[in-house]
Amino acid sequence: MAAISAKDVMKLREQTGAGMMDCKNALTEADGDFERAADILRERGIAKAAKRAGKIAAEGVVYALVEGNSGVLLEVNCESDFVAKGEKFLEIANTVAKQILAHKPATVEALLATDMGGKTVESYVQEQTGVIGEKVSVRRFTVYETNGFLETYIHMGGTMGVMLDFDCPANDVTKELAHNLALHTAFTKPAYLTKEEVSAETLEKEKAIMMQEVLNEGKPAAIAEKIVLGKINKYYEENCLMEQKFVKDDKVTVKQLIAQAAKENGAPITLKQYVFYVMGEGLEKKNEDLSEEVAKQVEAMKK
């Protein structure tokens, strides 16, 4: 077998744009034959994936998977809404979600390095980029392991997802409550579970803004303080899940709704934690008109 040097690996990397380890493995398999190694990378979709590495992957899906007492909420991105809605892309999301639940990695980087039986998740994602013809990227995920049960809700085919962790047994009463609160969370998108989670720093900043706002309206300082107190309560109501008015009945808060369900249940019900993702939130969207896109494709065909 031919010896594979770092220079050889770098040469293949420059030729194909693939990762160093992928290039080394391809050269080893091809016994040092550069053309065969490049073909191997193309066959596996890795070279094609590398060419798309600079593309903007701002579409995709939020995906949820629960197995036993573990669950994951995951965002996987691609380049177009058309691909995001395809069954193949959902298969990719499901495969990655299963890998997360099997290994419980702490970060996306750790996930990409996990083994899938002879290849890493990173290699798998690169292969799938070659298969679907668009850049695929795993953006973020959250894993919960529960002592009770998990409730998930995916909105409109993956544009948003919610996962709630209830520290109590699942039954008709608690499952109905969980479903309602998952829908509520998707609608209101709270920043905190309870008002106790709001940091003193955040609270002081909000108070200062509110105070200046009231003073600018010409209110005396003594009255302004009382008005700000009311505004803080409104801030809690808008941003803290337990303080929010339930979307289906604004006469009760979420905290009161849980208390009512617990009374009907005959046992305590605790919402321990929650997470929600809005697909593509904060990502730059690709914006090209049709003529520009066609011109780029024609130009690419000439090369």
Q: Percent of the chain scored above 70 by pLDDT? A: 88
User: What per-residue confidence (pLDDT) applies to 291?
Assistant: 47
User: What per-residue confidence (pLDDT) applies to 84?
Assistant: 92
Q: Regarding predicted confidence, which is higher, 102 or 290?
A: 102
The mean of the pLDDT values for the chain is: 88
* CA 117 – CA 224 distance, rounded (Å): 64
Tokens of 155: 């909105």
Is the predicted pLDDT of residue 284 greater than 70, yes or no? no
CA-closest candidate to residue 142, choices 190, 71, 194? 71
User: What per-residue confidence (pLDDT) applies to 289?
Assistant: 46
Domain extents in the chain: 56-145
Asked if CATH classification 3.40.50.970 holds for the domain at 56-145, the reply, yes or no, is no
pLDDT confidence band for 294 (50 / 70 / 90): very low
Contacts of 93 (CB under 8 A, 6+ apart): 61, 63, 74, 76, 158
pLDDT digits (tens, 9 = 90+) for 6-64: 888 888 877 776 777 888 888 999 888 888 888 888 777 676 666 666 666 679 999 99
Mean per-residue pLDDT, 133-162: 95
User: What per-residue confidence (pLDDT) applies to 47?
Assistant: 65
User: What per-residue confidence (pLDDT) applies to 56?
Assistant: 62
pLDDT digits (tens, 9 = 90+) for 73-120: 999 999 999 999 999 999 999 999 999 999 999 999 999 999 999 899
Tokens of 120: 């890493």
Three-state DSSP class for residue 218 = coil
> pTM here?
0.75
Q: Poorest-confidence range of 44-48, 103-107, 218-222, 263-267?
A: 44-48
pLDDT confidence band for 300 (50 / 70 / 90): very low
Amino acid identity at 227: I
* CA 249 – CA 4 distance, rounded (Å): 69
- At 166, which helix (H) or strand (E)? strand 160-166
User: What per-residue confidence (pLDDT) applies to 190?
Assistant: 96
Is the predicted pLDDT of residue 302 greater than 70, yes or no? no
